[in-house]
Amino acid sequence: MLRVEGLSRRFGGVYAVQDLSFDVELGELRGIIGPNGAGKSTLFHVIAGHLRANAGRVLLRGEAIDRVRPDQRAARGLGIVYQGARIFRGLTVLENIMVGAHSTTRHGFFEAALRFPLCRREENQIRARAEALLDQVGLTGLGDRMAESLPLGQQRAMQLATALAANPAVLLLDEPASGLRSAERRQFARLLRGLCSQGMTLLLVEHDVALVTSLSHKITVLDLGRVIAEGAPTEIRADPRVVAAYLGSVEDEPS
């Protein structure tokens, strides 16, 4: 579903990611972890299209997308949940979720302004989709609430529903559990497991190693912009290269 081939991005003479390659299969939840400065955020923004790679390719369902704009990637099936709860203030929860379907609409501003019948029908379909997503992410009955009035955990669930409104084939999540309390993290983890059980492909960039290892089918570990390990969570937890990257090796300790 998602392939990264030889991806590199540098800032000046310093590589944030260098020659990264991995594949994410249909229905897989792939975790991306690494210590601070490992290149996780840079990798996310290159895949999302906010940064241009210096070398390499990104392919979505076999189609190269590394030369297209972020909105075009969304139209091709790449959904994104950003770090922090980005919301449209002044809109209700339901309206926020409906905004997420903009990349799938067939009618433009002119048709919407004149309220063409086909445009109204499309809007009704989007509203029905958004209402179903309210139930899916545990926000039943909160559609008429103002989005900014929700607590952080529910805002994060709303943000997930907004991304799902576009029916993405692959969903990128950038530290979605950041700032959540323990109970909210557990609820969010259940939502992600449910998406995987429905066949969605997820790429989870996260600093919470315990959360990633509890959710992921496979984990890619970055350090200083390179892949240092890849495998199942049990393999990653026992890999001495991963332990050294996070904790430092005995040789690195001061005498």
**Which residues, listed in sequence order, are joined to residue 60 by a DSSP beta bridge?**
2, 63
How far apart (Å, rounded) are the C-alpha atoms in residues 61 and 227?
Answer: 22
pLDDT at 107: 53
Phi, psi at residue 165, to the nearest 5°? -60, -25
pLDDT at 117: 63
pLDDT at 192: 94
Low-confidence ranges of the chain (pLDDT < 70): 85, 105-118, 247-255
Angle, in degrees to the nearest 10, between helices 152-164 and 182-197: 20
- Burial class of residue 255, CB neighbours in 10 A (0-12, 13-18, 19+): exposed
pLDDT at 102: 78
pLDDT at 116: 54
pLDDT at 254: 37
Residue pair 204/28 in contact (Cβ under 8 Å)? The answer is no
In order of their start, the domains of the chain are 2-77+168-217+224-252 (3.40.50.300), 88-151 (no CATH)
pLDDT at 82: 87
pLDDT at 249: 52
pLDDT at 86: 78
